[in-house]
């Protein structure tokens, strides 16, 4: 009797799985994980047959999973490195990159700091260690305390590439796990400076950034990132193995649609400009 | 008639049971061995692969390097750079600095508490002190790390006027809290284990309680106290979460204890999650893991050895 019951349950589960439609796994960037989850929820509401599992772990983790065949979609806040492309190729994976949203990186200052703006060059000087004192950028006579992210985060890599122009961070940069920790540290440190995603600044102030000495200082916001006036912005990517087809293509096109991009905007991500989103859709 | 519980018939079962239990005991030994082999295997390309050796050979990890032509040679930990830099010295220095602060903080407190509770405390007080100190060992290190990050760092910065909030001193003190129960437990046991006959002899010769404990019990238990200190040091070197949260994680070469530090264990914890699988950086992290494993293994072995000698010595005298 017991055996029959177990058998029935097993069969039911098996059929259940077979009829449940497709399961899509999404894995990667911690910057994108919140957006990925919201997209999955909304999409599953509209397509009850599809199951989407979203997890974080970081861009590197997601890319490694894509290479090992451990995920269908990899979320990343940076492009794949040359080395990663090489390893993928050797394993027969063809990474297909699509940008799904934008993100700006804000520079955080303590609210008591008299400094309000930097040029991109000044920022580079500060983080490479060429500028060590606040008075060199118009502040009080005190050493600058640098806070940053751990060296494998997408944010670290992006800031290094776009602001430091691939030079090394000053060795006294204190690296903290997560943007929240950086914000917290700067909020407690009068002479601190940090960086992280926009829409994180609570208890600290965002610095306005000037592209060059003569250009206007721009504060980070959804508008200034979309219209391209804020100098430190980046694309957030989804990677697939080859051009997505079937359910994955449907999911991607939905995420890039007005509806999907509105979800992004609602939870403080920066949506893609409309023509860019349409260009990225798979025909 | 007497009913024997174990009949000769059950000999096979007995045999199997015995072997099963032996297997359980062996499992831990085999486990450690396998873990070590795995970690070492992942670190091996540093020695065998010429490609990895070019980027992160032993010499590059140990000695000052001229990373850019014409610039002064230096030690630097910058694994994600166009010129990857894998100097272990800044990390070693950071690990050592945190451990030293932890020991300076924990040894006097741990040993002092052990002397008090084994020699001078009334029985009632001892029954409270011992479990409470041992309870310290049960505090999750994340909680201690969080406390050091939010509260202790601010207090230290404000009272000492420090430039860096998160530094070796801050992390070391938090580490010390986890080390105290290790030192206390071993030292207390060692002092309690000093035989009654020795104490009686000292009292008979006219020594007062203070003289008994300082001139007689303390020297007799010294190896035990040393073992506690050694084991505590091992704990301080391997502990991860506290230093990850409270030390600032900046790999600086400096002698100052109020600069930020980056330790071996925190480096592995912070970088392992996102390292490119199979890259030189990956191998180097496993190499650091191997080093940590060997360090703590040797330290614990040393501590156990000293303890064993102590037992022999004390028991030998009483015979």
Same-domain status, A111 and A161: yes
Min Cα–Cα distance to chain B from A245, Å: 28
CATH classification at residue B209? 1.10.3720.10
- Which ipTM was obtained for this model? 0.77
Confidence of residue B7 (pLDDT cuts 50, 70, 90): low
Domain count, chain B: 1
Q: What is the pLDDT of residue B2?
A: 60
Among A152, A160, A176, whose Cβ lies nearest the Cβ of B271?
Answer: A152
User: Crossing angle, helix B264-271 and helix B280-318, to 10 degrees?
Assistant: 140
What's the pLDDT tens digit per position in B87-131?
899 999 999 999 999 999 999 999 999 999 988 888 898 899 999
Domain that holds residue A172: 104-233
Residue A266: per-residue pLDDT? 81
Our count of domains for chain A comes to: 2
User: CB-based contact (8 Å) between A166 and chain B?
Assistant: yes
What is the structure's pLDDT at B9?
Answer: 60
Same domain, A155 and A226: yes
Q: How confident is the model at residue B59 (pLDDT cuts 50, 70, 90)?
A: confident
Query: Residue B63: inside a domain, yes or no?
Result: no
Name the residue in chain A with its Cα closest to that of B75. Answer: A171
Domain that holds residue B150: 85-318
Cβ count within 10 A of residue B5: 5
Domain membership flag for residue B286: yes
pLDDT of amino acid A19: 46
Closest CA to B247 of B166, B156, B150, B154: B166
User: Is residue B142 within 8 Å of B241, Cβ to Cβ?
Assistant: yes
Q: Residue B1: inside a domain, yes or no? A: no
- Amino acid A18: pLDDT: 46
Give mean pLDDT, residues B142-166.
Answer: 90
Instruction: Name the burial class of residue B155, with classes exposed (0-12), middle (13-18) and buried (19+) by CB atoms within 10 angstroms of its CB.
Output: exposed
> Tokens in use for A92?
């027969």
C-alpha–C-alpha distance, residues A276 and A225, integer Å:
14
Same-domain pairing of A225 and A269: no
Q: In chain B, how long is the greatest CA-to-CA distance?
A: 96
Q: Measuring CA to CA, which residue among A178, A181, A157 is closest to residue A169?
A: A157
A228 shares its domain with A240: no
pLDDT-derived band at B3 (thresholds 50, 70, 90) equals low
Decide if B80 and A67 are in contact by the 8 Å CB cutoff.
no
Token look-up 């440190």 returns A189
Res. B5 pLDDT band, cuts 50 70 90 = low
What is the per-residue DSSP string for chain A?
-HHHHHHHHHHHHHHHHHHS--EEEEEE-TTTHHHHHHHHHHHHHH-TT-EEEEE-S-HHHHHHHHHTT--SEEEESSPPPHHHHHHHHHTT--EEEEEEEEEEEEEEEETT-S--EEEHHHHHHHHHTS--BGGGGTS-SSBPEEEEE-TTSHHHHHHHHHTSTTPPPPTTPEEESSHHHHHHHHHH-TTEEEEEETT--SSEEEPEEESSTTSPPB---HHHHHTT-SSSEEEEEEEEESS--HHHHHHHHHHHSHHHHHHHHHTTPBPPPHHHHHHHS--
Q: Does A128 touch chain B (CB under 8 A)?
A: no
pTM here is: 0.77
Whether residues A207 and A276 share a domain: the answer is: no
Residues within 8 A of A (CB atoms), B 88-117 only: 90
> Residue B14 domain-assigned?
no
Residue B318: band (very low, low, confident or very high) from pLDDT cuts 50, 70, 90 = very low
- Is the per-residue pLDDT at B227 higher than 50? yes
For B78, nearest residue in chain A (alpha carbons): A168
At B4, is the pLDDT very low, low, confident or very high (cuts 50, 70, 90)? low
* CATH number for position A154: 3.40.190.10
The pLDDT tens digits along chain A (283 residues) read 566 666 666 655 555 444 456 789 999 887 788 889 999 999 999 888 888 998 877 788 889 889 988 899 999 988 888 888 998 999 888 999 999 998 888 999 999 999 998 999 999 999 999 999 999 998 889 999 999 988 777 788 888 888 988 888 998 999 887 788 889 889 988 899 999 887 677 889 999 998 888 888 899 888 888 888 888 888 899 999 989 888 889 999 999 999 999 988 887 788 888 888 888 888 8
Residues A163 and A241 in one domain: no
Closest residue in A to B157 (Cα) is A189
A38 and A151 part of one domain: no
Nearest CA in chain B to A187: B150
B184 located within any domain: yes
Task: Tell me the chain A residues in contact with residue B85 when contact means C-beta distances shorter than 8 Å.
Answer: 168
Asked if A63 and A78 sit in the same domain, the reply is yes
Percentage, residues of chain B above pLDDT 70: 95
Tell which B residues from 265 to 284 touch A, by Cβ distance under 8 Å.
270-271, 273-279
**What whole-number distance in Å separates Cα of residue B6 and Cα of residue B202?**
51
Say if the Cβ atoms of B259 and A57 lie within 8 Å. no
Nearest CA in chain B to A85: B276
What confidence tens digit (pLDDT) does each residue in B245-301 have?
A: 899 889 888 888 989 999 999 999 888 876 777 788 888 999 999 999 999 889 989
Q: Verify that A125 and A211 share a domain, yes or no.
A: yes
**In Å, how far is B178's CA from the nearest CA of chain A?**
22
Which chain B residues contact residue A67 at CB under 8 A?
A: 277
Nearest to B260 among A58, A172, A189 (CB): A172
In chain A, which among 86-105 make CB contacts under 8 A with chain B?
A: 87
Residue B190 lies inside a defined structural domain of this protein: yes
Co-location of A181 and A219 in the same domain: yes
- Indicate the residue of B77, B270, B277 with minimum beta-carbon distance to A64: B277
In a domain, B68, yes or no: no
Q: Which two tokens stand for residue B190?
A: 């060692």
Q: Distance between CA B103 and CA B168 in Å, rounded?
A: 12
Q: Tell whether A75 is within 8 A of chain B (Cβ).
A: no
Question: Residue B134: is its pLDDT beyond 80?
Answer: yes
Burial of B17 (0-12, 13-18, 19+ CB in 10 A): exposed
The reply to whether A114 and A193 lie within a common domain is yes
Same domain, A125 and A140: yes
Asked if B220 and B195 count as a contact pair (C-beta separation under 8 A), the reply is no
A90/A84 Cα distance (integer angstroms): 10
**pLDDT value at residue B84:** 83
Residue B83 reports pLDDT greater than 60: yes
- Whether residue B275 lies inside any domain: the answer is yes
Residue that is last in its domain, among A233, A249, A272: A233
* pLDDT in the model for residue B319: 40
CA B60 – CA B277 distance, rounded (Å) = 21
């Amino acid at each position: 009797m017991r055996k029959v019951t177990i058998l029935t349950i097993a069969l039911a589960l098996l059929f259940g799985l077979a009829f449940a439609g497709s399961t899509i796994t999404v894995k990667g960037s911690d910057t994108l994980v919140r957006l990925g989850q919201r997209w999955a929820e909304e999409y599953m509401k509209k397509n009850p047959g599809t199951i989407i599992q979203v997890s974080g772990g970081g861009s590197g983790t997601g890319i490694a999973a894509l290479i090992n065949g451990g995920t269908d979609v990899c979320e990343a806040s940076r492009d794949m490195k040359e080395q990663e492309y090489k390893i993928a190729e050797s394993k027969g994976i063809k990474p297909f990159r699509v940008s799904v949203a934008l993100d700006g990186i804000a520079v955080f200052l303590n609210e008591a700091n008299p400094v309000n703006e930097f040029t991109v060059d000044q920022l580079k000087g500060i983080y490479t260690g060429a500028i060590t004192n606040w008075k060199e950028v118009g502040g009080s006579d005190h050493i600058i305390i640098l806070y940053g992210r751990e060296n494998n985060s997408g944010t670290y890599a992006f800031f290094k590439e776009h602001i430091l122009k691939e030079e090394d961070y000053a060795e006294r940069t204190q690296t903290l796990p997560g943007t929240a920790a950086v914000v917290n540290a700067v909020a407690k440190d009068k002479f601190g400076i940090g960086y992280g995603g926009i829409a994180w600044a609570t208890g600290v102030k965002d610095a306005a950034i000037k592209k060059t000495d003569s250009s206007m200082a721009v504060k980070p916001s959804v508008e200034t990132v979309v219209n391209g006036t804020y100098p430190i912005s980046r694309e957030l990517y989804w990677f697939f193995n080859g051009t997505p087809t079937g359910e994955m293509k449907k999911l991607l096109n939905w995420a890039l649609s007005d509806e999907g991009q509105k979800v992004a905007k609602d939870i403080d991500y920066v949506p893609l400009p409309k023509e860019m989103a349409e260009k990225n859709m798979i025909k | 008639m007497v009913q024997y519980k174990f009949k000769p018939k059950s000999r096979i079962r007995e045999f199997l049971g015995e072997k099963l239990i032996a297997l359980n005991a062996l499992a831990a030994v085999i486990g450690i061995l396998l873990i070590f082999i795995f970690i070492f295997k992942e670190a091996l390309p540093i020695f065998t692969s010429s490609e990895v050796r070019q980027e992160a050979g032993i010499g590059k990890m140990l000695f000052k390097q001229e990373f850019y032509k014409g610039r002064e040679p230096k030690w630097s930990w910058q694994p994600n750079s166009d010129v990857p830099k894998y100097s272990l010295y800044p990390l070693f220095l950071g690990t050592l600095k945190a451990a030293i602060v932890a020991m300076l903080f924990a040894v006097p407190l741990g040993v002092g508490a052990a002397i008090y509770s084994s020699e001078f405390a009334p029985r009632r007080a001892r029954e409270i002190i011992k479990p409470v100190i041992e309870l310290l060992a049960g505090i999750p290190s994340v909680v201690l790390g969080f406390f050091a990050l939010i509260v202790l760092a601010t207090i230290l910065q404000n009272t000492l006027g420090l430039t860096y909030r998160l530094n070796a001193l801050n992390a070391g003190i938090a580490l010390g809290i986890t080390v105290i129960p290790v030192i206390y437990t071993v030292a207390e046991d060692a002092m309690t284990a000093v035989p009654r006959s020795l104490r009686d002899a000292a009292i008979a010769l006219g020594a007062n309680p203070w003289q008994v404990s300082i001139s007689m019990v303390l020297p007799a238990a010294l190896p035990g106290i040393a073992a506690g200190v050694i084991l505590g040091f091992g704990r301080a070197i391997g502990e991860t979460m506290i230093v990850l949260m409270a030390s600032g994680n900046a790999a600086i070469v400096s002698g100052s204890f109020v600069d930020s530090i980056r330790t071996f264990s925190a480096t592995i914890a912070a970088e392992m999650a996102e390292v490119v699988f199979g890259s030189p950086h990956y191998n180097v992290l496993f190499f650091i893991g191997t080093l940590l494993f060997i360090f703590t293994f040797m330290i614990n072995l040393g501590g156990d050895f000293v303890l064993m000698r102590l037992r022999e010595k004390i028991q030998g005298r009483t015979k």
